[in-house]
């Protein structure tokens, strides 16, 4: 009250927005409201403007360590649905929806494909996979000789690149992940089932009557 | 052993993909 910033940064989403998001995702209205508590905490960690910046996203993933990281950047870019350089609440809910245990396998496969298609070419290409492998080795302080990395890439592309054109298309990716379901483990966050228990304070800010 | 895994098995082990961190207060 009395603060001209309070509307955008702090106000709970309008009832109809919450209801729409719940209708179009796997979340209930209460869960969308609980997600708003999480969103509010992340989006106010650096600047309390009701939007998640890349810096705030990285802080949330890596806690206190400031880290510029290929994978975190990629996830941020995919969450930034409207390509505004920030994540708004709607982007946040719709993106997390793919990670819901009840989200469809097709959505999880499609999102994971886009995650690895670093340059948005519509294909997962060998240089992209090599770039990600090198980033992973750097991040985890693991060292592998270049010929070992090439061997891993050879093996992966023999298995995944069925028409052997040097890149993995969406159909090849679908076949590959169905044969290797563990690859989709990162696409499900069991935590999302219990979001209202984790952020019970949503009850005090709720716009809906029947919780 | 890393060599016995495919590239995506390795990449998906990146800590940065662990979005559960988002929920830790």
Tokens found for residue A25? 């995702």
Which residues make Cβ contacts (< 8 Å) with residue A111, sequence separation at least 6?
A: A78, A98, A187
Buried b (16+ CB within 10 A) or exposed e, A139-165: beeeebeeeebeebbeebbebbbeeee
pLDDT of residue A208: 63
Whether B6 and A155 have beta carbons less than 8 Å apart is answered as yes
Which whole number is the average pLDDT over A20-27? 95
In chain B the first and final C-alpha atoms are separated, in Å, by 34
- pLDDT single digits (tens) A37-77: 999 999 999 999 999 999 999 989 887 666 778 888 999 99
Q: What is the mean pLDDT of chain A?
A: 88
- pLDDT single digits (tens) A91-126: 999 999 999 999 999 999 999 999 999 999 999 999
- pLDDT single digits (tens) A165-198: 999 999 999 999 999 999 999 999 998 988 888 7
Tokens found for residue A130? 């090599």
pLDDT of residue B19: 86
- Answer whether residue B14 shows pLDDT above 70: yes
Which whole number is the average pLDDT over A5-13? 54
Write the burial class of residue A173 (CB in 10 Å: 0-12 exposed, 13-18 middle, 19+ buried). buried
Taking CA atoms, what residue in B is nearest to A112? B12
- Contact (CB<8Å) A180/B9: yes
Chain A residues touching residue B6 (CB < 8 angstroms): 152, 155-156, 159-160, 180
Distances, alpha carbon A32 to alpha carbons A100, A139, A181, in Å: 12, 33, 28
pLDDT of residue A11: 63
- The greatest distance separating any two alpha carbons of chain B, rounded to the nearest whole angstrom, comes to 37
Mutant choice from A38, A44, A71, A127 vs B, greatest count of B C-beta within 10 A: A71
pLDDT of residue A199: 76
Choose among A69, A116, A195: nearest Cβ to B16: A69
| pLDDT band, very low/low/confident/very high, at A13 (cuts 50, 70, 90) | confident
Please state, as a whole number, how many other Cβ atoms lie within 10 Å of the Cβ of residue A175: 14
pLDDT of residue A211: 45
Write the burial class of residue A55 (CB in 10 Å: 0-12 exposed, 13-18 middle, 19+ buried). middle
| pLDDT band, very low/low/confident/very high, at A133 (cuts 50, 70, 90) | very high
């Amino acid at each position: 009250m009395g603060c001209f910033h309070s509307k955008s940064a702090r106000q709970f989403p309008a009832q109809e927005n919450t209801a729409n998001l719940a209708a179009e995702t796997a979340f209930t209205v209460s869960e969308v409201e609980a997600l708003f508590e999480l969103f509010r905490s992340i989006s106010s960690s650096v600047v309390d403007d009701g939007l998640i910046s890349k810096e705030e996203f990285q802080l949330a993933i890596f806690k206190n360590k400031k880290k510029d990281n290929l994978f975190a950047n990629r996830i941020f870019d995919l969450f930034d649905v409207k390509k505004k350089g920030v994540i708004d609440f709607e982007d946040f809910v719709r993106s997390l929806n793919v990670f819901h245990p009840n989200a469809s396998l097709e959505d999880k496969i499609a999102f994971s494909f886009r995650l690895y298609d670093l340059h948005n070419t519509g294909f997962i290409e060998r240089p992209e996979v090599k770039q990600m492998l090198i980033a992973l080795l750097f991040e985890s302080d693991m060292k592998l000789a270049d010929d070992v990395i090439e061997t891993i890439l050879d093996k992966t592309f023999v298995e995944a690149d069925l028409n052997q054109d040097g890149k993995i298309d969406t159909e090849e990716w679908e076949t590959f992940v169905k044969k290797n379901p563990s690859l989709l483990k990162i696409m499900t966050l069991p935590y999302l089932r219990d979001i209202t228990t984790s952020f019970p304070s949503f009850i005090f800010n709720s716009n809906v009557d029947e919780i | 052993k890393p060599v016995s895994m495919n590239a995506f098995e390795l990449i998906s082990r990146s800590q940065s993909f662990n979005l559960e961190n988002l929920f830790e207060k």
